[in-house]
Amino acid sequence: MISAAFRLAAAGLAAAVAWTAAPALASGDAGSRVPEYPGVIAEYIQVPGGKAPGTPSALNTAAFLRLRPAADGDRPRPANAVIVGLPGFSSTPPHWLYLASQMVSRASGQTCGDQPCRLEVWVLQRRGANLAETEALTEARRKGDPAIALKHYLGADAIGPDGRVGPPTASAAWKPLTQTDLAFMADWGFETYAADVDAMIGRIRERSGAHNIFLAGHSQGGGFVSNYAARRGADGRRGVEKLAGLIFLDGGPSAGVQPEPTVAELDAYFARVAALRSGKDRVYTDASGLLGAIAGPASAASQSVTGVYYALSDPNSEAIFPLRVVGMAPAPGDDFLKTIRLTWLARAGASFDTDPVPGGGVQMQILQFLGQGLGRIDFTPLPGTEANCDRTPPPTAVGPMRAMGPPPKCVPSGAMVDPNRVHGWIEPGGAGPREAGRAALWLNAQAFAPTRSNIRPVTVQFAESGRRTIDASDLIASNWYPSERWDFDAGFVGRYRTLKIDRDGVKLDVDKAAIAGVPVYVARQGFTQGVSGNPFPGVTDYTEVNKTGTWQTPEAKAVSPLDPAINAAFYFHTDFVGADDSRAGQERPGEPGVSAVSGTVVDWVLKRAKGLSDTPSPASLGVRTRY
C-alpha cells in the first residue's frame, strides 16, 4: 500500500511529508563528515577558473570536492601528497566520494617521518554543474523535507495517484536554461577544463624541493590525464612538469593512436566547433546521446531530487521514484521495473548495479557496461509465474557493449511480481556473487552534499531566460548541463600523439612524447602482458593492476613492490571509484571489501611524493557552513 505521506504529497504537497523513520540530517561541520568515514571532511569549493570566450565572468569557475583529514580542523597540516581527480563520462565528484575518503583515511593511518601522513584528494566538478540552481535542494536538506525539492523542480503534479513520481510538470517552479542561454558552452572544450585544473593546482603551494601533486582520472578522465600531462600550458610548461605521477583508472593510459591529424580531420573538427558556436548543434546534451533520456537538465534535476530523498528517507521505506523514465527506448525489464515496489536502498542498488536480478538482463545496456556490482533485489517470482518472461526484443548492442554476451534466457516480467510486497536489497556476501561494491555506498554517494562550501549565489543575465540567480552550492551527483564540446574534444585530443593548433580561437600544443620520467599507476578491467601495456616509451616506473594480477617494471618494484597476485577480477567499470573498503587489512586488495585501488595506490603515492605542500585553509577560501 502507498503510505499516507505519499497520498498527502499527491494531493498537492500542502503539508510537509513526515519521515518518522528517517535519520536526522547532520548540520554544521558534522554534515561535512563523509558517511562511514567520519575522520574525513568534505568541502565543496569554487575558485576562479579558465577564461572561456563569451562565458560570463561569474561562471568562469573551477569547482571541486576537497576531501582531507578532519583531525586537522580548519588548519590543514602540510600535505605529503595531493591527488587531483578527474571524473569519467557524465560523472561527478560524488562518484569518487568513497575512493577518495578511503585514500585520505588510509594515508592518515601511516607515518611520514614522525607524524601521521597527510593526503588530500581534490575532485574536479564538470562545469555544467556550476549552472545547477540548487537552492531548493539546500532548503529541503536544511528543513528535513524532501517534498520541498520535489515541488520546486518537478512540480506537485509530478506525483501520480499511485504515489509514484513522474517527469517534471508545468507546475514546477524551476525551468531549465536553454541552448540559447548557454551558447557560450560551445567553447567549454579541453583547453577550458585544462585551465580549470591549472587553477586548482595553483592553489597548492609546494615548498622548496617538493614534488607531490598527482593527477588521476577515471574512464574518460583517464584520457584527460594523458592529454593534460602532454599539454603545454600558458606558462610554457608541460603538465607533466608539474606532476609527481599519473594515475589511470579504467581509462587510458594512452599516447594516441595516430601521429597527428590530417588536414581533412582538422577541417572536420573545426566544422563541428563552428556548428556548436553557431547554434546549429546543441551545446549541451539534452535527452540524447549515449545516455538518452537519462541525460540533460530535466533528468539531472530529477536525479538530484532523488538524492535528497535518499538523504532524508529511511532506506528501508518504499521508494516513489521509478527506475524507468518517460522517453527511454523500450527495453527488456521495463514491465518488471515499472511493476515492482522497491525500498530506497533497493532502488539505489538497482539503479546502477550491472545485473540487479542475476541473469535477468533488466539493467539498461549502457549500465550493464558502465555500472558496478552492488548486490541484488530480494526477488523471487510468484509461484507458477516462472515462465512468464518478458518478450521485448533486446536492443542491438553497439560499440563496447557488443562484448556483453548473448541475451538472458528469461527476463522477468511484471506478471512475476507480488504487488503487495515492497522488495528490499541483498548486499554482496554469503552465498551470493562476489562483488566489489555495496548499494549503501552508492546511495550515500548520491545523497551526500557537504554542509561546508565557499560557493555563493551569482546573478547572470541570460540571452533567453533573462536574469537568473544561480546558487550551485549543493553538491549534486549528476551533471545538469553536459558540455558537447568537452565530450567532442576529449575524443579528438586523445586520438593523436602530437597536436599543434592555432586557428579559429583554438590554441593547443600537445606532445605525448613529453610524458617521460614520471611514475604511472594503472588499474583497469582489461589486461596487458609485460611492457606492451605501457604506451609511454620514456616512462620506466610503471605499475598496472588488472584482472589477471599486478605487473610492474623493475624500477616500480624497487620503489614499492606489490604482490603480483593482487588483481581486479571482481571489478566492473565504476567499482574503481566506488568499491567497498570496509574490510581493509583483513584480505588482499582486490578481494570483496578491500579496494584494489585504495589498497595499493596510497603506498604507491606516498613512496613517490617528495617534500611537503601547503594547501589553502578553509578561511582563505571563504568556506562557511551552509546550514
Domain closes at, from 423, 439, 460: 423
CA distance linking residue 410 with residue 415, whole number of Å: 13
Do residues 395 and 506 share a domain? no
pLDDT digits 0-9 by tens, 55-77: 999 999 999 999 999 999 999 99
Domain presence at residue 206: yes
Q: Give me the residue label for grid cell 609485460.
A: 530
The number of domains in the chain is 2
The 10s digit of each residue's pLDDT in 121-170 is 999 999 999 999 999 999 999 999 999 999 999 999 999 888 889 888 89
Q: Report if residue 394 sits inside a domain.
A: yes
Residue of 270 and 17 predicted with greater confidence: 270
Q: List Cα–Cα distances, 569 to 357, 525, 576, in angstroms.
A: 21, 7, 12
- Whether omega before 253 lies within 30 degrees of 0, making that bond cis, reads yes
Has residue 297 got a pLDDT over 70? Answer: yes
171 is a domain residue: no
Claim to verify: residue 259 and residue 326 sit in the same structural domain? no
Domain final position from 376, 391, 423? 423
Instruction: Please tell me whether residues 490 and 418 are part of one structural domain.
Output: no
Asked whether residue 359 is assigned to any structural domain, the reply reads yes
527: burial class by Cβ within 10 Å (0-12, 13-18, 19+)? middle
Residue 42 located in a structural domain = yes
**Residue 328 — pLDDT band, cuts 50, 70, 90?**
low
Q: Do 410 and 530 reside in the same domain of the chain? A: no
Question: CB of 503 within 8 A of CB of 204?
Answer: no
Distances (CA, A) of 106 to 68, 124, 558, 598, 603: 11, 21, 22, 8, 9
Three-state DSSP at 275 gives helix
Question: What does pTM read for this prediction?
Answer: 0.93
DSSP 494-522: HHBSEEEEEETTEEEEEEGGG-BSS-EEE
- Same domain (yes/no): 71, 208: yes
Task: Give the domain range for residue 357.
Answer: 317-423
Taking residues 34-43, what's their average pLDDT? 97
Within this chain, do residues 245 and 107 fall inside the same structural domain, yes or no? yes
pLDDT in tens, 381-419: 999 999 999 988 876 665 555 555 677 889 999 999 999
Q: What is the CATH number of the domain that holds 225?
A: 3.40.50
Question: Which of 423, 438, 453 is at the close of a domain?
Answer: 423
